[in-house]
């Protein structure tokens, strides 16, 4: 009917939509199937290629193995022919018919044999690296033993016997090559070389040893062409003979002598003072080293002077430059030695001395001597035990100074240390140097004093200026030390008759050792008193790091 409107059924619309969705899903599924089939074809082609490559490899391997198989087949044929010979005689040549039957058996045997060997190699456990190394070493030792047996004249190798360790008779210092280099250097500087005809102990042959019979000034040229200043020659002789001894005294004497060298210096034409002056000082220092090795304090003072020489500007006038150097040397002596001793004595060390103390000191230290005198002047009442030892007997000079100052003293030898240590309340010691590892280098016998005091719980105080601190490390008295004159050990007063050791040099089996210094470990030192304060021995690297190089 025309008047009636057509109405849409919603269920029909839904059914149409579902059909469309199904169609789209089916189309997508077909596409996925096509893609999967294409990828499957690609994978199949790749597999075919791989299989072909494997077949080629197997063919190549078979071709390589054919000559070996032929040889093995020939062996099998020979064996079969020998075994089949009687049968062939009976059958009339039927042995030839057995060849085709034998070949596959031989191949089977070969294949089984190879497979068995492969299985055996697979079943064997792999050895560790340590086991392989041990096997190699054993083989090498066996080869060496066989070679040694052949060298001795054949026969079976002998078992390894005990081989004594060979100790070097000389160190790097006293090596012939090193000595030649030193001699060439001294020859360039026109410095005489000390003769080596001295009788030394083998273990200490690398150390310097002074003897009165050896002269260094005999071959010196003292004219205008000479490179060594006369004041340096005089100082070297005083060092060698022991007229000037002690770290502070030797350092002050060196600085005063270098002031004379600088004052007498004149810069040549077309040369700079900062370069030429340092070259002129080197032979003088080398001569002093030949007379007696430089102390740590002297080495630090020389470094200070060279550092200031290199800082001189090239355009500075000569007189002004020389004056500035002399002023800096005077400043070093005043601040690093004189004022440092004052600070140690009157600021820090005096606080450790009380009334009724029994103080023990060893040998003769100028700083310890000053501390005891200042404490006595401050009104402290105490007694001092001076311990001494041969051959220098330096304690006698210390005893004389203290007694003249009015201090009550006792004097004993180091062999009687165990008898007096029970009465001691404190031990004051001087130092030649303080090393970077905290060890104290001082007069020989100091370590024994510190060890004994530590055993009886007596505090050991070492008094040392910071300019004696060294960046070197040393744990024994063998590597770096100094040897005194061995004749001093057997020397007796003049009124005594000749003794049995008067001709000790003629006895080949007798060697005398006269060490000058020893090294004390920091475990035996309670405290180190310096101008910067009271510190432990282990603080030496800190002081060296913080210290100003200009000072």
| Residue entry with tokens 């392989």 | 132
Buried b / exposed e over 355-365, threshold 16 CB at 10 Å, is eebbbbbbbbb
H-only helix segments in 338-390: 339-343, 366-377
Residues with Cβ within 8 Å of 343's Cβ and at least 6 positions away in sequence, in order, are 531
DSSP, res 348: I
- pLDDT single digits (tens) 145-201: 888 777 766 555 455 444 444 444 444 555 556 555 655 666 655 566 665 556 778
Q: What is the model's pLDDT at position 60? A: 67
CATH topology of domain 176-215+225-341: 1.20.120
Q: CA–CA separation, 261 vs 32, rounded Å?
A: 104
* Contact between 227 and 214 (Cβ < 8 Å): no
Question: Contacts by 485-493 with C-beta closer than 8 Å and gap 24+?
Answer: 485/209, 485/210, 485/211, 485/212, 485/514, 486/199, 486/209, 486/211, 486/511, 486/512, 486/513, 486/514, 487/211, 487/212, 488/391, 488/392, 488/514, 489/390, 489/391, 489/514, 491/391
Q: CA–CA separation, 386 vs 369, rounded Å?
A: 11
Domain boundaries defined on the chain: 176-215+225-341, 355-494+501-547
* Contact between 430 and 367 (Cβ < 8 Å): yes
* Mean model confidence pLDDT for the chain: 79
Considering only CA atoms, which of 305, 297, 255 is closest in space to residue 468? Answer: 297
Q: CA–CA separation, 211 vs 241, rounded Å?
A: 9
In the three-class reduction of DSSP (H, G, I as helix; E, B as strand; rest coil), residue 64 is classed as helix
CATH architecture of 355-494+501-547: 3-Layer(aba) Sandwich (3.40)
Q: Do domains 176-215+225-341 and 355-494+501-547 have the same CATH topology?
A: no
- Strand order, beta sheet including 433-434: 433-434, 440-443, 517-520
| Residue entry with tokens 């002690």 | 246
List of the chain residues with pLDDT < 50: 1-8, 11, 67-77, 80-122, 157, 160-171, 223-225
DSSP output for 255-287 = HHHHHHHHHT--PPTT--HHHHHHHHHHHHHHH
Residues with Cβ within 8 Å of 324's Cβ and at least 6 positions away in sequence, in order, are 308, 312, 316
Both structure tokens of 349: 């060390």
Q: CA–CA separation, 273 vs 280, rounded Å?
A: 10
CA–chain centroid gap for 455, Å, is 32
- pLDDT single digits (tens) 77-125: 455 444 444 444 444 444 444 444 444 444 444 444 444 444 444 455 6
Rg (CA), the chain: 47
Write down the pTM of the prediction.
0.66
């Amino acid at each position: 009917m025309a008047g009636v409107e057509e109405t849409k059924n919603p269920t029909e619309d839904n059914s149409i939509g579902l059909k469309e969705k199904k169609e789209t899903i089916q189309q997508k599924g077909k596409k996925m199937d096509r893609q999967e089939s294409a990828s499957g074809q690609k994978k199949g082609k790749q597999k075919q290629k791989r299989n072909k490559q494997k077949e080629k490899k197997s063919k190549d391997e078979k071709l390589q193995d054919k000559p070996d198989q032929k040889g093995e087949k020939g062996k099998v044929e020979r064996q079969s022919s020998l075994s089949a010979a009687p049968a062939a005689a009976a059958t009339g040549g039927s042995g030839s018919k057995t060849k085709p039957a034998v070949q596959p058996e031989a191949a089977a045997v070969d294949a089984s044999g190879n497979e068995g060997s492969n299985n055996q190699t697979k079943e064997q456990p792999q050895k560790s690296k340590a086991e392989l190394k041990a096997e190699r070493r054993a083989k090498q030792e066996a080869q060496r033993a066989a070679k040694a047996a052949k060298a001795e004249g054949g026969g079976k190798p002998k078992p390894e016997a005990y081989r004594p360790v060979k100790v070097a008779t000389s160190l790097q210092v006293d090596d012939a090559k090193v000595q030649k280099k030193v001699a060439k250097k001294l020859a360039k500087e026109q410095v005489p070389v000390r003769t080596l005809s001295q009788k030394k102990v083998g273990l200490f042959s690398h150390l310097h040893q002074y003897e009165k019979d050896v002269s260094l000034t005999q071959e010196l040229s003292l004219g205008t062409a000479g490179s060594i200043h006369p004041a340096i020659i005089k100082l070297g002789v005083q060092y060698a003979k022991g007229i000037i001894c002690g770290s502070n005294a030797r350092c002050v004497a060196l600085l005063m002598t270098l002031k004379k060298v600088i004052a007498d210096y004149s810069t040549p034409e077309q040369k700079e003072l900062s370069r030429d002056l340092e070259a002129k000082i080197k032979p003088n220092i080398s001569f002093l080293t030949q007379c007696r090795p430089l102390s740590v304090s002297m080495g630090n003072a020389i470094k200070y002077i060279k550092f200031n020489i290199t800082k001189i500007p090239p355009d500075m006038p000569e007189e002004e430059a020389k004056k500035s150097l002399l002023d800096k040397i005077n400043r070093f002596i005043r601040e690093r030695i004189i004022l440092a001793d004052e600070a140690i004595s009157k600021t820090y060390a005096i606080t450790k001395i009380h009334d009724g103390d029994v103080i023990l000191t060893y040998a003769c230290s100028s700083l310890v001597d000053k501390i005891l005198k200042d404490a006595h002047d401050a009104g402290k009442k105490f007694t001092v035990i001076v311990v001494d030892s041969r051959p220098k007997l330096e304690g006698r000079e210390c005893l004389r100074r203290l007694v003249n100052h009015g201090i009550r003293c006792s004097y004993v030898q180091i062999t009687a240390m165990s008898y007096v240590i029970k009465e001691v309340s404190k031990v004051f010691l001087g130092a030649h140097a303080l090393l970077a590892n905290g060890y104290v280098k001082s007069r020989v016998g100091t370590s024994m004093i510190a060890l004994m005091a530590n055993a009886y719980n007596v505090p050991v105080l070492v008094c040392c200026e910071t300019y004696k601190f060294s960046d070197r490390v040393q744990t024994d008295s063998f590597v770096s030390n100094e040897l005194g004159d061995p004749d001093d050990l057997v020397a007796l007063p003049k009124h005594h008759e000749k003794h049995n050791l008067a001709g000790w040099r003629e006895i080949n089996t007798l060697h005398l050792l006269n060490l000058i210094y020893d090294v004390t470990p920091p475990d035996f030192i309670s405290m180190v008193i310096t101008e910067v304060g009271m510190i432990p021995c282990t603080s030496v690297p800190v002081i060296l790091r913080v210290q100003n190089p200009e000072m």
